[in-house]
Amino acid sequence: MKLLEMEKFRDQLLINVLASGEENAKAIYDAGEGYIVPGIAAADYSTIDEGVAKLRELKKAVPVVSIGLGGGGNFQEWKRVVQMAVEAKSEHINQPYETASYAKGYLEANNVKPMINALVMPTGIIGKVRLSTGATVDVESCLDLAAALNIDSIKVMPVKGLTHLEELVFIAKEAVKRGIRGIEPAGGIKIEHVPIMFKAIQQTHIELFMPHIFGDLLVEPGKTNHEKVRDLLTLLKGGTL
């Protein structure tokens, strides 16, 4: 199954989380009523083989798995993510903006076609983003090139919870204009932030909104608390904890 073929909460939302193994992946997937994309962070695994083995274990429990960079979005992990994706045939991977197009072409040449995001950093200024090189660029120009290179989704990190929400919404609106299908915020997001973010993003009509929620959901490194995932769904449905 491709990621965009998954059923989404209110036709738009999926949640990206970490899973420690098959049992944990099944528990969080079930707690999230199927709106969950579990995965691993490449930086957490000392070898490619270890990461691939874990991804294959997760795929026994869920239809779609993700590979993140890890280490707080460590750009140096991009190549290891690609190497793991080739072997595990994962359905979603994270990449710095500068390497996303290369990764897409390389993986497609190896008959692997995941959804690939391109990571940019918010600057505190609506309409501007920062790249891994340190360069600050206009959002419109950045997305023009991403669209021309057939990049599927834009990851924005670190959003620091709701701190950069206006910037995120602007990026999502501009992405929609260019046919980019997803927006993926990460960094400091707590479960109580998600309904607020989702309400704002819904107005952009982007096809996929997939926040990455790690720290607030982890019970231990790499293992997501399925009870907190259930709490998140309660909040999204308008309930209280």
Residues shown for the chain = 241
> Is 84 within 8 Å of 90 (Cβ atoms)?
yes
Instruction: Kindly give the parts of the chain with pLDDT less than 70.
Output: 241
Q: Is residue 162 part of a domain?
A: no
Q: Six-digit token pair at 26?
A: 């099944």
Q: In sequence order, which ranges of the chain are alpha helices (DSSP H)? A: 22-31, 48-58, 78-88, 97-109, 139-148, 165-177, 194-202, 226-236
Rounded-to-integer distance, Cα 189 and Cα 193, Å:
6
pLDDT for 73 equals: 80
Q: What is the DSSP letter of 18?
A: E
Q: What does the pLDDT look like over 39-58, one tens digit per residue?
A: 999 999 999 999 999 999 99
- For residue 92, report the phi and psi dihedrals to the nearest 5 degrees: -155, 135
pLDDT for 241 equals: 67
Q: Is residue 99 part of a domain?
A: yes
CA max distance for the chain: 47
Rounded to 5 degrees, what angle do the CA atoms 232, 233, 236 make?
Answer: 90
pLDDT for 142 equals: 98
Rounded-to-integer distance, Cα 56 and Cα 74, Å:
23
pLDDT for 240 equals: 77
pLDDT for 216 equals: 95
Torsion over CA: 153, 157, 160, 165 (sign): negative
Q: What is the DSSP letter of 70?
A: -
Domain, as residue range, for 202: 3-116+182-236
pLDDT for 179 equals: 98
pTM: 0.96
pLDDT for 159 equals: 98
Q: Is residue 56 part of a domain?
A: yes
Place of tokens 């989704």: 153
Nearest to 73 by CA among 52, 94, 92, 54: 94
- Domain of residue 79, CATH code: 3.20.20.70
Domains in the chain: how many in total?
A: 1
- For residue 52, report the phi and psi dihedrals to the nearest 5 degrees: -65, -40
Q: Is residue 156 part of a domain?
A: no
Place of tokens 């109580």: 192
Q: What does the pLDDT look like over 194-218, one tens digit per residue?
A: 999 999 999 999 999 999 999 999 9
Nearest to 197 by CA among 163, 231, 225, 174: 163
Q: Is residue 76 part of a domain?
A: yes
* CA distance between the termini of the chain: 33
Q: Is residue 49 part of a domain?
A: yes
Q: Is residue 172 part of a domain?
A: no
> Is 225 within 8 Å of 218 (Cβ atoms)?
yes
Q: Is residue 147 part of a domain?
A: no
CA dihedral of 83, 87, 92, 98, whole degrees rounded to 10 = 20
pLDDT for 55 equals: 98
